[in-house]
Amino acid sequence: MQERSLAFIPAGRDPAGFGAFGLRVPHRKSLVLVGGNIRMDGGHNKG
């Protein structure tokens, strides 16, 4: 499975102060990726 979403979501600022884009998770919540062989490749989810 390969996710190639074209929706870039502003996600605030990274620790260096640059604009960040990608998945946003509400405060005090977790993003859980379930499965095997999941990796991030240039902003694309592969699993």
Q: What is the DSSP string of the chain?
A: -EE------EEEE-TTS-EEES----TT------SSS-EEETTEEE-
CA quadruple 33, 35, 39, 40: dihedral positive or negative?
negative
pLDDT of residue 37: 76
pLDDT of residue 17: 79
pLDDT of residue 1: 52
Chain centroid to Cα 40, Å, comes to 8
pLDDT tens column, 1-47: 555 555 556 667 777 877 777 677 778 888 787 777 777 666 555 55
pLDDT of residue 15: 73
